[in-house]
Chains A and B, each alone.
Chain A
Amino acid sequence: MSAITTPISATPPAWNLPYRGKVGMACLIIAESAIFTIFVVAYLYYAGKSLAGPTPREVLETPIFYTICLLSSSITIHFASRSLEHGKRGGFLVLLFLTMLLGGLFLFGTGQEWHRLIYEHGLTISTNLFGTTYYSLVGLHATHVTVGLLMMGIVLIFAVAGRVGQEQSARIEVLSMYWHFVDAVWVVVFTVVYILGR
């Protein structure tokens, strides 16, 4: 009695359900969005409420170049996953590497900005409300970039070893969803920190 079959039509309709990897990642993205929303709300709530300087207007410089890097890495990973889908493993490898390079550049940019803020302007996480909210929000995003780079690094190792083929393209698609999300969050963080927050 462990299998149930009820009288159904002779030719059962096709039974297609979504790919669990994509659904799982979509759920994770929803959850992450909620976390970022809270940090963004805190940033906006405290904008201009610091009791002491420095203020964002005094010290922040808009990181346009690194933003372009990060946003274009979304395009490269998209084409990387496309290449793999079509079985072009060489193209995949090159585009994946390029994505990591762009992501790495962005992280370097964040690091450079933080170094400047800390050593030139004396702004740390405990200086004032701006410091607390700025480092938390940007740091949270940078953490997500780092996690994405680590995941891509693992894929890269397997790809170089020749272990990533067309069969894995659905999984690479999931990874690319995550990366797109990280880029989209940067658009929000950029708007909040460098445009609205000033």
Chain B
Amino acid sequence: MSSDVMAIRTAPVADRPWVETLHSWVTTVDHKRLGILYILYALLFLVVAGFEALIIRIQLIHAHNDFVSPQVFNRMFTMHGTTMIFFVAIPILFGFANYLVPLMIGARDMAFPRLNAFSFWLTAFGGFLLYFSFFGGSGLYGAGNAPDVGWWAYAPLTSRAFSPGHSSDYWTVALLVAGFGSIGTAVNLIATILCMRCPGMHLSRMPLLAWLNLVMSGMVLIAVTPLSAAQIMLLVDRYLGGHFFDTQAGGSATLWMHFFWIFGHPEVYILILPSFAFVSEIVPVFSRKPIFGYPAMVGASVSIGFLGMSVWAHHMFSIGMPSYTNSFFTITTLAIGVPTGIKIFNWLGTMWGGKILFKTPMLFCIAFLAQFLISGLTGIMLGSAAFNWQLTGSYFVVAHFHYVIVGGILFALFGAFYYWYPKITGRMLNETLGKIHFWLFVLGFHLTFDLMHIPGLMGMPRRIYTYEPGRGWDTLNFLVTLGAFIQAIATLVFVANLIISYFKGPRAGNDPWDAWTLEWSVSSPPPAYNFASIPKVGSRRPLWDLKHPDDPDSRYE
């Protein structure tokens, strides 16, 4: 039946002129196609922002380098950070959520398909708007000029006095527009998960991926909106002469910091929760065991969601808050280590006693576990306010959050690519190229980000375009740059694998990993309507029940 479906779906596409194909993609409201659009869009920006990272790293390869001017360097780190967070990480995770959530909960589409398309295009235009600043950033003043205020855009650096022209406006409007897109998708995901589950899919039977995306979407609703509000205030300041962040008229620079980090820190959890979701799906399948402690995993996710909203000021330990405020944000920050620890231990518990298969997705997940552990521990160091006074604003912080975002989120994402690529395209990714990609990336990652901690401990602040010789930072920075290039090469291997396997990869079949969730019950790629008839489920692992009718999960849950 599934091969018939595929034949019906693919045959007309091949004959259609490309304009029609393009039109069908641009006007699509299908969650799977929008998911793919999100992912491709994010990959495009991943390459762009990665390129910016390389420019930063080349400039810092030795003391007093003049590869780029300070102005260009400042634009590069601003664009790198903004792009990676808003136009790579969020879209790519939304893309996977879009693609997978309806399939995994047995729905035919998202709750609001047209809102889905609208949200995607908002996000997409946000990214293009940001990059248009290279052409229009200086407005009537002359040549191109991207924003150079850092991705936090601390006031009053963004005021008209310190940021003339329009580069900061492009930054603000781009993020505002993309933020509305994120809110739209979050609303959609919540409505889908709460209202579109197939019969039998109680909340307590949902795959963890759906749970984590539910929590993530809830966080988007209350965390992205403060940033939108602050952006509106910034626009009022810049265009209507308001004084929200105008320190000359009594406005407060610290208010912007609070508003930004009320968004900024939950944002990290918004990104890491979907990554947890991938790991929570991949680790059980390749350990051949169900997830250990499902209720604890759900509880930990929800409590990370709540705690994550109460830690923002740990980014501001150096702004001179009173000692009790610093202590409060220390305890909330450290407390988040508890549910996070529970998650790590449960993944270990899942592997414990299993039969671990070292396919590429699992390799990325194992590396994720080790690296996420380390980033969590450096996070504890940073969470201790007094220790933080030495660490904040230094390269130690840069190393820490790259450990989270690259070592955690990106590794989980790579795992997700290798795991779900067969479902999305119908073809397997090449395992050999996958292993090369993995090992090269691991090498480059550790060379770059392990060593990056040290200059920070030796007094090197972040966001400096150059440094003085003789401080002991040179060799380390050289090695860090070397690692960055190894990562770039590994990423090229990955992109090559994506392209080659799309044409040459072996056919995947419905269920190449012998997995247990609903998406593996349909053909690869799934038909437009997902399920010919809406499935009914009786446990958290419907396909396990199907494959083991003598010993179904429903008996034990």
Contact = CB atoms under 8 A, between A and B. Distances in A.
A, B assembled together: yes
Interface of A: 1-8, 12, 15, 17-20, 23-24, 27-28, 30-32, 34-35, 37-39, 42, 45-46, 49-51, 125-126, 128-129, 132-133, 136, 140
B523 interface: yes
Contact of B242 (A23, A132, A140): A132
B229 A39 contact: yes
B552 A7 contact: yes
A2 B250 contact: no
A1 B510 contact: yes
Contacts of B2: 1-2
A34 B228 CA distance: 10
Interface string B233-246: 10011001111100
A129 B246 CA distance: 9
User: Contact residue range for chain B?
Assistant: 35 or more
Contacts of B510: 1
A37 B262 CA distance: 12
A5 B198 CA distance: 11
Contacts of B532: 2-3
A144 to B, nearest CB: 13
23 contacts: A1-B521, A6-B537, A6-B539, A6-B552, A7-B538, A12-B200, A17-B197, A20-B111, A20-B196, A27-B186, A30-B221, A31-B187, A31-B222, A35-B226, A35-B229, A37-B226, A38-B229, A38-B259, A50-B250, A128-B243, A129-B243, A132-B244, A136-B244
A136 B244 CA distance: 10
A174 to B, nearest CB: 11
Chain B: interface secondary structure?
Answer: helix
Contacts of A27: 186-187, 190-191, 217, 221
A5 B197 contact: no
Contacts of B543: 4
Contacts of A49: 250
B251 interface: yes
Given A3-B531, A27-B221, 4 more contacts: A6-B200, A12-B200, A35-B226, A132-B236
A6 B554 contact: yes
A140 B231 CA distance: 13
Contacts of B554: 6
Interface string B533-557: 1111111001101100100101000
Contact of A35 (B1, B190, B228, B518): B228
Contacts of B536: 4-6, 8, 12
Contacts of B259: 38
B401 to A, nearest CB: 24
